[in-house]
A and B are shown apart, each in its own frame.
Chain A
Amino acid sequence: MKPTVAFRWAALLSAALLSGAPAARAEPPPADPCAVPESVLTVDAHLPRARDRLRTAGALPILVVNTAKPAAERGEASYPARLEKDLTARLPGRRVTVTVRSVPGATAHEMLPVLESAVTELRPALVVWQVGTMDAMRNVGPDGFGEALVTGIAQTHARGADILVVDMQYSPQTSQLMTFRPYVEYVEWVTQNNDVFHFPRYEMMRHWIEEGRVTIGSESKDDKLKAFTFVHGCVARLLAQTIAAMLDRAEEGAP
């Protein structure tokens, strides 16, 4: 469930051992600043319903359900808007649309009715469900959180749409005040049991921050905006990349 911990432990140990060695080879910066290792992100699910819709209708309507309320001036930089652009570029000739339904301040359980009505009304092929932040902030019982996840996934599948789950954001500061771990683990566990893709935003952001690719906690307004643009841009890019990969995977050898 927490593969990265072991890797980091090993990495730390070897780093500690190597640091004494002369002329340790400096890692070249990765070409893609968004890139995360496979231990963080692996594509392990299919999108059979979305693939069918894409094949029959040539369109991929996506619905993002989240708790965010971006200020108007940042709308373009937020990941749903970027996702639409990135995915359109990856699926030439297909119509990709991203619609957002935001339920600010809602727990997983409180999001369920909105999720249900939006899926009924908009008939998306794929739902991106960003969930868990409020549950962690409000210390909602993790078991109840897990049950709400199962319900949300089942009701979306029942209406003929695929769903993937995006977990919480990470920063050392926010994680110091809120206990995200059990909720991230629940997302991993429930998605695995339901063959649904878990987009590990928490571990990704942790990777970016620990690698120094993005800095959180600076006072300057410019730095804050830079962090926002970087995180949302990378989330959108990797989300587009994995969705495209899952659609390909389904075409190759789905049952």
Chain B
Amino acid sequence: MKEDGRDLRLDFFRGLALWFIFVNHIPGNQFAWLTSRNYGLSDASEVFVFISGYTSALVYAKVYARSGWGLAAARVLDRCWTLYLTYIFLFIAFTAQVAYTTRAFDNPLFAEEMGIAGFFADPAVALVQALLLKFRPANLDILPLYIVLLLAVPLLLPALVRRPVALLAASGALYVATRHLHWNLPTYPEGGEWLFNPFAWQFLFVLGGVLQRFPGASAALTRPRPAVLVLAALYVAASLVLALSWQFATLGALMPPRLGEVLYPISKTDLDPLRLVHFLALAYLVLQLARPDSAWLRWRAVAPVILCGRQSLHVFCLGIFLSFAAQTILVQVNGSLFVQFAVTLVGITTMILTARVLTWYQTAGRPPRTAAPALGDSGA
């Protein structure tokens, strides 16, 4: 594929985030220790949402400028429709796996305490609620967030193009208000909330979009400054100690209890400011090493990551499905370290191969130039 002046960093970090999300969503997989979530406050979700905002602005603002709001909105809706179909497909695939797994619930040990009656007793209700994105099995949380954020893009586009600063201010205000007033969308059964609160997480998405509109300012913001470097490094180091203290009892015992009272809970649902700052500090540090012209972005070894990042939508959905399948294997068949390694490896290989086939399919038989912006870019 031609580079076309495209920022390879977007594809690389999005691809990496997709790999991390896949590995992290297999409970009991010791290889999750290799991912960023254990070494800081933020995790791959932040990277994914931020870059999605950035690339959405990149793709749809271009369509908006060239062909007007109508076509841009239609393009977004087309993408949402694809995502929604994917969600429903994943849900059905889940139901089959779930039906197998739920046999464990038919055990007085669990049935009596969980009052299983309501859970799968009324398939009709559960199905309708699933179609409304309200009933979400564990681990299928980030996709509805993604759909809702994309659905908002047509509404945001005019402001994003004409008054990006005002949009960012409004988005920040909504984020602050959400954190203070505890707004969230409900789930089914009653009383639940979305694990990724869209009213809070939209801020990161919009931030990515707005920064894309100001390439000069973004470059200036990430310029190396000793004071900022030191502050960011200190913050990331402190988060590292904090995150490790949750995993290692000896380190946890050294943490002053007062600290916990001040800091916790560090809410993922509402995108805690500590997480947000951690993401920004980490991004600042990483961007010092990852310049648009960095040679390592063209190494053969990172090409598979970039490939996955370029086909993010399909690889993302595939990853969710694969992680549940991997989990089923670990739970039902064998959970040894070797099998954990095998399912992780097979999963990532499947993601790479799929991305490769999709890239081939999209470029095959097209004149090289026309494939560039709108089609070659996955756009979300």
- Chain A residues proximal to chain B, CB less than 8 Å: 1-3, 5-6, 8-9, 12, 15-16, 39, 66-71, 74, 104-105, 107, 133-134, 137-144, 146, 169, 171-179, 182, 186, 189, 192-193, 216-217, 219, 224-225, 227-228, 231-232
| Given A12-B30, A173-B105, residue A5 in contact with residue B247 (CB < 8 A) | yes
Chain B residues within 8 Å of A139, by CB: 136, 187, 192-193, 195
| Minimum CB–CB distance for A62 against chain B, Å | 19
B109 touches A9 (CB 8 A): no
Q: Judge if B215 is at the interface, Cβ distance under 8 Å.
A: no
Residue in chain A with minimal CB distance to B192 = A139
10 intermolecular pairs with C-beta atoms under 8 Å apart: A70-B112, A74-B112, A137-B114, A138-B187, A141-B269, A143-B265, A176-B101, A179-B139, A225-B108, A228-B107
A177 touches B98 (CB 8 A): yes
Instruction: Name the interface residues of B72-104: CB closer than 8 Å to any CB of A.
Output: 98, 101-104
| Minimum CB–CB distance for A190 against chain B, Å | 9
A140 touches B252 (CB 8 A): no
| Given A3-B248, A6-B248, A139-B193, residue A71 in contact with residue B108 (CB < 8 A) | yes
Complex: A177 Cα to B140 Cα, angstroms: 10
Chain B residues within 8 Å of A179, by CB: 138-139, 195
Chain A residues within 8 Å of B191, by CB: 107, 138, 140
A228 touches B109 (CB 8 A): yes
Query: Which label, helix, strand, loop or mixed, suits the secondary structure of the B interface?
Result: helix
Complex: A15 Cα to B332 Cα, angstroms: 21
| Minimum CB–CB distance for B248 against chain A, Å | 5
B327 touches A176 (CB 8 A): yes
| Given A3-B249, A6-B249, residue A224 in contact with residue B109 (CB < 8 A) | yes
B110 touches A174 (CB 8 A): yes
Among B3-11, B203-211, B256-264, which stretch is in contact with chain A? Answer: B256-264
Task: Tell which of A15, A141, A231 has the most Cβ of chain B within 10 Å.
Answer: A141
B104 touches A216 (CB 8 A): yes
Chain A residues within 8 Å of B118, by CB: 105
Complex: A71 Cα to B247 Cα, angstroms: 39
Residue in chain A with minimal CB distance to B190 = A138
Residue in chain A with minimal CB distance to B106 = A224
| Given A67-B115, A139-B193, A193-B260, residue A173 in contact with residue B108 (CB < 8 A) | no
Task: Tell which of A173, A179, A216 has the most Cβ of chain B within 10 Å.
Answer: A173
Complex: A211 Cα to B197 Cα, angstroms: 38
Chain B residues within 8 Å of A143, by CB: 182, 265, 267, 269-270
- Which 7 A-B residue pairs are closest in the complex by CB-CB distance? A139-B192, A3-B249, A173-B104, A172-B331, A141-B193, A1-B246, A105-B115
Q: Judge if B328 is at the interface, Cβ distance under 8 Å.
A: yes
| Minimum CB–CB distance for B266 against chain A, Å | 10
Q: Judge if B68 is at the interface, Cβ distance under 8 Å.
A: no
Complex partner residue of B328 from A138, A140, A176, A216, CB under 8 angstroms: A176
Q: Judge if B224 is at the interface, Cβ distance under 8 Å.
A: no
Residue in chain A with minimal CB distance to B261 = A193
Complex: A83 Cα to B270 Cα, angstroms: 40
A175 touches B184 (CB 8 A): no
| Minimum CB–CB distance for B126 against chain A, Å | 13
Q: Judge if B292 is at the interface, Cβ distance under 8 Å.
A: no
B192 touches A177 (CB 8 A): no
- The count of residues in chain B whose C-beta lies closer than 8 Å to any C-beta of chain A is 55
Instruction: Name the interface residues of B234-291: CB closer than 8 Å to any CB of A.
Output: 246-249, 252, 257, 260-261, 264-265, 267-270
- Chain B residues proximal to chain A, CB less than 8 Å: 27-28, 30, 33, 98, 101-105, 107-110, 112-115, 118-119, 136-139, 182, 184, 187, 189-193, 195, 246-249, 252, 257, 260-261, 264-265, 267-270, 324, 327-328, 330-332, 335, 337
B115 touches A141 (CB 8 A): no
Chain A residues within 8 Å of B138, by CB: 176-179
| Minimum CB–CB distance for B39 against chain A, Å | 14
Residue in chain A with minimal CB distance to B98 = A177
Complex: A189 Cα to B195 Cα, angstroms: 19
Chain A residues within 8 Å of B257, by CB: 192-193
B109 touches A231 (CB 8 A): yes
| Given A176-B331, A177-B137, residue A140 in contact with residue B107 (CB < 8 A) | no
B114 touches A140 (CB 8 A): no
Complex: A74 Cα to B260 Cα, angstroms: 42
| Minimum CB–CB distance for A155 against chain B, Å | 20
Residue in chain B with minimal CB distance to A227 = B109
Chain A residues within 8 Å of B193, by CB: 139-141, 144
Complex partner residue of B269 from A142, A171, A224, A227, CB under 8 angstroms: A142
Chain A residues within 8 Å of B324, by CB: 176
B187 touches A12 (CB 8 A): no
| Minimum CB–CB distance for A132 against chain B, Å | 10
Complex partner residue of A175 from B27, B112, B261, B337, CB under 8 angstroms: B27
Complex: A219 Cα to B100 Cα, angstroms: 12
| Minimum CB–CB distance for B188 against chain A, Å | 9
Complex: A163 Cα to B117 Cα, angstroms: 30
A3 touches B112 (CB 8 A): no
Chain A residues within 8 Å of B264, by CB: 189
| Given A137-B119, A143-B267, residue A1 in contact with residue B112 (CB < 8 A) | no
Complex: A39 Cα to B248 Cα, angstroms: 10
Chain A residues within 8 Å of B27, by CB: 175-176
Complex: A48 Cα to B248 Cα, angstroms: 30
Chain A residues within 8 Å of B104, by CB: 171, 173-174, 216-217
| Minimum CB–CB distance for B92 against chain A, Å | 16
Complex: A137 Cα to B210 Cα, angstroms: 38
